């Protein structure tokens, strides 16, 4: 039988920290989405594209739902709701290594209102044994009416191909939306800005992570050399945060730059000279113009 080409959009949904971004990266076998232990760190809707001989899947990572505190928060919730409506299928990710609880039920209830087919992915199975998994499979099944339920490990890349096959089954016949070689719709500058933000998230504490925005100003290959100059500005909301980011004798900024450079080198496949500067932009999270500048609306 000559099968038709299938394509469609798939939303990845779940409470913070369950492994949505890690899953996205394992689908595309490349680091695109940033990964952090801190909740509410995904700000953009990143699309990642997986090409198969007979299908193209476009994944949409979403910021998690939370109570909006500012313009940025409202913008994020809107983005999540729209995702529910627009996609052909949804992967609902829960953390199987923790108790499946209220946060998961809250999302399950939101999902009940839409007709899109849902696959429940029980993630982090590398952290639990078989009997615990059996219990979690049962608990998960009670959350809602799922098309399929599948245990996975996004980090160890277990059962990822199987999950992809389940998704393809749910997609309608359709065209190739993106060219074969494209793995994300994000411009390079945006991916790089996010890598830098990830290092800030993972190296700083308390209010600093959420006060940071990054803007890449220049990506410029040096003539005749395997070297690209990248310059970026890290914006903070207060002077005190500037001090924290620079650190004693500049060690913090140096470490952020070193770690980000490694990711950027992987992404661009070239040596990178990364220049980071820090600037203060008072209360940028409440400033619509600033939000646009950083690509958040």
CB 124 within 8 A of CB 97: yes
Should residue 17 be labelled a site residue for ligand GDP when binding is judged by CB under 6 A?
yes
Q: Of 74-82, 118-126, 177-185, 221-229, which part binds ligand GDP (CB under 6 A)? A: 118-126
* Residue 123 makes contact with ligand GDP by CB under 6 A: yes
Residue nearest to ligand GDP (CB): 19
Q: Which is nearer to ligand GDP, 88 or 198 (CB)?
A: 198
For position 36 contacting ligand GDP by CB under 6 A, the verdict is yes
Rounded Cα–Cα distance for residues 45 and 59 (Å): 10
Give residues in contact with Mg ion (CB under 5 A): 20-21, 42
| Residue 90, helix vs strand vs coil | strand
Report residue 210 CA to chain centroid gap: 16
Using CA atoms, how far apart are residues 259 and 262, in angstroms rounded to an integer?
5
Q: Which does 22 bind (CB under 5 to 8 A by kind): Mg ion, ligand GDP, none?
A: ligand GDP
Does residue number 148 form part of the binding site for ligand GDP (CB under 6 A)? no
CB of residue 185 to ligand GDP, shortest distance in Å = 18
The minimum distance between CB 38 and ligand GDP, in angstroms, equals 8
Alpha-carbon distances, residue 54 vs 2, 51, 57, 227, 243 (angstroms)? 10, 8, 10, 38, 52
What is the rounded CA–CA span in Å between residue 63 and residue 195?
16
Report if residue 37 touches ligand GDP, rule: CB under 6 A: yes
Nearest approach, Cβ of residue 37 and ligand GDP (Å): 5
Q: Taking a C-beta distance cutoff of 8 angstroms, is the pair 92, 121 a contact? A: yes
Q: How far is the CB of 24 from ligand GDP (least distance, A)?
A: 8
Q: Return the residue nearest Mg ion (CB atom).
A: 21
Q: Is 120 exposed, middle or buried (0-12, 13-18, 19+ CB in 10 A)?
A: buried
- Point out which residues bind ligand GDP (CB under 6 A): 14, 16-22, 35-37, 42, 123-124, 126-127, 153-155
């Amino acid at each position: 039988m000559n099968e038709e080409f299938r394509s469609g959009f798939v939303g990845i949904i779940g409470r913070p920290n369950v492994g949505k971004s890690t899953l996205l990266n394992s689908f595309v076998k490349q680091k695109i989405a940033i990964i952090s232990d801190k909740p509410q760190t995904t700000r953009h809707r990143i699309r990642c594209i997986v090409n198969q001989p007979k299908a193209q899947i476009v994944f949409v990572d979403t910021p998690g739902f939370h109570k909006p505190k500012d313009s940025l928060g409202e913008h994020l919730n809107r983005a999540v709701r729209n995702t529910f409506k627009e996609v052909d299928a949804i992967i609902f990710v829960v953390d199987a290594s923790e108790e499946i609880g209220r946060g998961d039920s809250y999302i399950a209830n939101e999902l009940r209102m839409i007709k899109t087919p849902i696959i429940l992915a029980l993630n982090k199975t590398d952290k639990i044994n078989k009997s615990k998994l059996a219990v979690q499979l049962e608990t998960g099944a009670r959350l809602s009416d799922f098309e399929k339920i599948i245990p996975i490990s996004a980090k160890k890349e277990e059962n990822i191909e199987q999950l992809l096959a389940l998704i393809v089954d749910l997609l309608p016949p359709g065209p190739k939306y993106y060219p074969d070689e494209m793995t994300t719709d994000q411009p390079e500058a945006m991916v790089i800005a996010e890598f830098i933000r990830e290092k800030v998230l993972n190296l700083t504490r308390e209010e600093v992570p959420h006060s940071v925005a990054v803007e890449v100003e220049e990506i410029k290959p040096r003539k005749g050399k395997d070297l690209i100059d990248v310059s970026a500005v890290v914006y903070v909301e207060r002077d005190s945060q500037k001090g924290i980011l620079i650190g004693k004798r500049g060690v913090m900024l140096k470490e952020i730059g070193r770690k980000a450079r490694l990711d950027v080198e992987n992404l661009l496949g070239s040596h990178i000279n990364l220049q980071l500067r820090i600037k203060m932009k008072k209360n940028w999270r409440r400033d619509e113009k600033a939000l646009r500048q950083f690509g958040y609306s």
